[in-house]
Amino acid sequence: MKVEQISIFLENRAGRLADVTRTLSEAGVNIRALSLADTTDFGILRLIVTDHEKAKQALKENGFTVGRTNVVAAEVQDKPGGLHSILSMLSENGINVEYMYAFVQQSGKNAVLIFRFDRTDEAIETLQKHGIRIIPGNELYNI
Amino acid sequence: MVFDVQNETMPRDELESLQLKRLKYLAGKVYHNVPFYKQKFDEMGIKPESIKSISDLKNLPFTEKQDLRNNYPFGLFAVPRESVVRVHVSSGTTGKATVVGYTQRDVDNWARLMARSFESCGVNSTDIVHNAYGYGLFTGGLGAHYGAEVLGATILPVSGGATKRQVMLMKDFGPTVLCCTPSYALHLYETALANGISMEDLKLRVGIFGAEPWTEEMRQDIQNKLRLKALDIYGLSEIMGPGVGIECIAAQDGLHIWEDHFLMEIIDPETGESLPPGEKGELVITTLTKEAQPLIRYRTRDITRINPIPCRCGRTHYRIERITGRSDDMLIIRGVNVFPSQIESILLETEGLSPHYQLIIDRKGSMDILEVQVEVDEKLFSDEIKHLQNMEKKIMSHIKEFLGVTAKITMVEPKTIARSEGKAKRIIDRRNV
Ligand SMILES: [Zn+2]
């Protein structure tokens, strides 16, 4: 039920983000979701892509430091309070969210939340028990 | 075992009075025989007779590598050229070569000191020594060679190069002792494996490695791979060659310097002041017995400290710590002496990482600013900002704690730090003052 996410270390220099997107497009990899976290001198770009093996290889060949993490994708109705109910359910069960980001699917009315948990398996169990749909990796890569 | 019991285990008071006797004789000898020293002594208003105790050493002039270059080739000889039986030359990576001459007695002393060094490493007359130090103008090959002969061991004068043939000889002759640089030892290991020779096929027991700086981590690596005891040897051609100092197999902790022949001091490389025992600084050596080309207070540029604690091997000669850097590399940041090697060990000790790094020194107003750039490789990388920031904080606080300077730590992408010929450029000093 987990989703593969790749993360890339970036210095805060003009054009670095564009270097990543160009590398991926040249490798024929599409980006499904993206989030950038940054400080004054560096940033971490997190990506979900159509082919993470290919993406990782292309990025490494171009000198980027690339990491790989398992995250969880949850579907939530795109209406007020949707996110809040998920977050309170997790915190009631003592599960920490390390970080999260969201994107809206082209097709539907639902938003997709990408979570990085400290205890991934327990988080998935809790979400499912409460009727939240977890989107499997294959489905997400091919949206 | 000890090769020369009388001299190597001499009580400290006797050793020190022997040093004083030899120093007084030496001062007179260079004053009367080497114009360079006569001029220096006269300029400083020193007479050889004014030396009354070892502490008077600090009044004598230093000798720098540049002085050897200025007197190229034979200008520092203290004996007629006819009395010189051998000459070695050290290749100058940063300038003109330096020349060193030896009388027959110098060559004999050297061989005996090298024999002491071998025995200190647990080598004896039954051993077979594979000597892969280069033979020729460089002191390494011949220095080890004659020492092994004096000891009565069987020496294989292999010299450098033809590595595949070397590992074949190692298999066929079964040497028990290996002499070479630490990096060549690892190269021999890899070549052996690539040619289907495993360490079980060899009989190596002891490795004596020197002529380039190496770390404790590298020692462990060599010991595990080559399955031998790896010992550090110290020497420099200006002073003699290999065998100025050696680790003992009993302690494997620092190098005994043969103090009956070499008088050592530790100085502050900036001010030239002598530092008290135990402090880290530049090693300065006075050759007490050299005939052909004695040197007074030669500045080795090697950074170390003297350990006066008696050694379990029974030798009374003090030890120096493994050389941790060259004073040429020393940076002064806000009045604090910092060596790149210290930063490197802090990075190594922080999470056991050995990342590429670069030091950038700049000046804002009257303040020196030190920035340590650390390349983020896959081992260091985390997808969480806070992990990387914690790492920065940890490195910063270790540098503050151990070196007493505040540094800004910057995480940079791999390969941003310029490399030339495989070697990274470690220091960029932008203070043009
Ligand atoms: Zn010892």
What pLDDT does B121 receive? Answer: 98
Residues in chain A whose beta carbon is closer than 8 A to a beta carbon of chain B? 5, 7, 9-11, 37-39, 41-42, 44, 46, 63-67, 69, 98-99, 116
Could you tell me the strand order of the sheet in which B154-156 lies? Answer: B154-156, B128-131, B177-180, B206-209, B229-236, B241-247, B255-257, B319-320, B306-307
Nearest chain A Cα to B376, which residue?
A65
- Name which of A5-19, B19-33, B303-317, B374-388 the model is least confident about: B374-388
Is residue B410 predicted with pLDDT exceeding 50? yes
Is residue B95 predicted with pLDDT exceeding 70? no
How many other C-beta atoms can be found within 10 angstroms of the C-beta atom of residue B147? 30
pLDDT, one tens digit per residue, over B224-249 is 999 999 999 999 999 999 999 999 99
Residue B180, strand partner residues: B209
Q: Which residues contact B398 (CB under 8 A, 6 or more apart)?
A: B346, B349, B350
E strands, chain A, are 3-11, 31-38, 42-49, 66-77, 97-104, 110-117, 133-134
Question: All domains of chain B, ordered by start, with CATH?
Answer: 5-328 (3.40.50.12780), 333-429 (3.30.300.30)
Q: Could you give phi then psi for residue B386, rounded to 5 degrees?
A: -65, -30
DSSP 8-state symbol, B28:
H
CA of B307 to the centre of ligand 1 (A): 11
Distance CA A40, CA A43 (A): 8
Same fold, A3-69 and A70-141: yes
Is residue B404 predicted with pLDDT exceeding 70? yes
CA of B316 to the centre of ligand 1 (A): 8
Is residue B419 predicted with pLDDT exceeding 60? no
pLDDT, one tens digit per residue, over A115-124 is 999 889 999 9
Question: When comparing pLDDT for A113 and B230, which is higher?
Answer: B230
The two three-digit tokens of residue A72, written as one number: 């969880």
Domain segments of chain A as ranges = 3-69, 70-141
Amino acid at B376: V
The two three-digit tokens of residue B311, written as one number: 């050694």
Inter-chain touch B412–A11, beta carbons under 8 Å: yes
Q: Chain A neighbours among B 389-428 (CB < 8 Å)? A: 389, 410-416
Q: Which residues contact A12 (CB under 8 A, 6 or more apart)?
A: A38, A39, A40, A41, A42, A43
Cβ contacts of B381 on chain A, cutoff 8 Å: 7, 9, 65-67
- Name which of A27-31, B268-272, B353-357 the model is least confident about: B353-357
pLDDT, one tens digit per residue, over B196-206 is 999 999 999 99
What pLDDT does B159 receive? Answer: 93
Q: Kindly indicate the confidence band of residue B402, based on its pLDDT and cuts at 50, 70 and 90.
A: confident
Q: The tokens 């001029």 sit on which residue?
A: B39
Distance CA B151, CA B157 (A): 15
pLDDT, one tens digit per residue, over B29-41 is 999 999 999 999 9
Question: When comparing pLDDT for B381 and B316, which is higher?
Answer: B316
What pLDDT does B169 receive? Answer: 96
What pLDDT does B420 receive? Answer: 46
Closest by CA to B83, choosing from B291, B239, B238, B241, is: B291
C-alpha atoms less than 13 angstroms from C-alpha of B200 in its C-beta half-sphere = 1
CA of B322 to the centre of ligand 1 (A): 14
What pLDDT does B364 receive? Answer: 83
Residue % of chain B over a pLDDT of 70: 94
Inter-chain touch A7–B377, beta carbons under 8 Å: no
Q: ipTM more than 0.95?
A: no
Burial tier of B283 (Cβ tally within 10 Å: 0-12, 13-18, 19+):
buried
Is residue B173 predicted with pLDDT exceeding 90? yes
What pLDDT does B422 receive? Answer: 43
pLDDT, one tens digit per residue, over B322-366 is 987 777 777 888 878 788 877 877 887 776 565 678 889 998 887
Is residue B191 predicted with pLDDT exceeding 60? yes
Q: Kindly indicate the confidence band of residue B421, based on its pLDDT and cuts at 50, 70 and 90.
A: very low
What pLDDT does A27 receive? Answer: 95
**CATH 3.30.2130.10 matches A70-141:** yes
User: What is the CA angle B40-B42-B47, rounded to 5?
Assistant: 110
CA of B286 to the centre of ligand 1 (A): 22
Q: What is the mean pLDDT of residues B76-81?
A: 97
Inter-chain touch A116–B385, beta carbons under 8 Å: no
Q: Measuring CA to CA, how many Å separate B135 from each of B144, B178, B356?
A: 10, 15, 35
Options 3.30.2130.10, 3.40.50.850, 3.40.50.720, 3.40.50.1370; which CATH number does A3-69 get? Answer: 3.30.2130.10
Q: Identify the residue among B358, B383, B413 best suited for mutation to test binding to A, counting A beta carbons within 10 A and taking the highest.
A: B383
- Name which of B271-275, B292-296, B402-406 the model is least confident about: B402-406
Is residue A143 predicted with pLDDT exceeding 80? no
Distance CA B156, CA B145 (A): 8
C-alpha atoms less than 13 angstroms from C-alpha of B349 in its C-beta half-sphere = 15
Cβ contacts of B416 on chain A, cutoff 8 Å: 11
What pLDDT does A56 receive? Answer: 94
Is residue B423 predicted with pLDDT exceeding 60? no
